[in-house]
Amino acid sequence: MDPITIIAAATAAFNGVKKAVELGREVQDIYGQLSIWAGHVGDFHQAVAAMEARDKKPGLFDRIFFAKSETAEAFDMFAAKQKITEMEKEIYHMFTWGELNHLGQDGYNEFRRMRRQVTEKRQKIVSDQMERRREFFEGIKLLAIITAVLVLGGSAIWLMISWMLDQGAAAGKW
């Protein structure tokens, strides 16, 4: 999905948060709405990362095609990032002065600390997987090299023995 569609979904979820707060819903309902909003924000960040990865290195024979102009894509990403920043400021306000003020600055800091921990944990999982993949392919390469050396060495030995047997038969020793 493109960033604008994802931000539209995030905005709808955020409006649900504000509506839940206005109606005086339970804190759990507000947290549920915030979780939905955070999911859409995560989708946005994944879409941006996918766009950046796609832009970095296309396949050797892949057809290169861009759905939007550079300007349109940049404006979409800029607008989406600005909207997310505004929403995060409103959430901060909810923690410090608004409906979640019973949690206060400490609650907001705890939320940010937990988010940072989850991010670091996920990044470690991804980097560990990339390292395991790299090691796997290095192992495959090493196995292919060893197999090739053994096959070539065995073939050379077999050819030498064959040649020696042929020489011995030709000389009448066998």
Domains in the chain: boundaries: 3-102
Q: Quick one: average pLDDT of 136-146? A: 97
d(CA 40, CA 7): 7
| Cα 90–chain centre separation | 27
Tokens of 122: 């996920």
Cα pseudo-dihedral 103, 108, 114, 116, rounded to 10:
180
Q: How confident is the model at residue 25 (pLDDT cuts 50, 70, 90)?
A: low
Q: Give the closest residue to 114 by CA, choosing from 31, 49, 27, 29.
A: 31
Q: Does the pLDDT at position 174 exceed 70?
A: no
What per-residue confidence (pLDDT) applies to 42? 82
**pLDDT, tens digit (0-9, with 9 covering 90-100), for 102-123:** 778 888 888 888 888 988 998 8
Q: Quick one: average pLDDT of 51-67? A: 70
Q: What is the pTM of this model?
A: 0.57
Whole-number mean pLDDT of the chain?
82
What per-residue confidence (pLDDT) applies to 53? 66
Position 85, amino acid: T
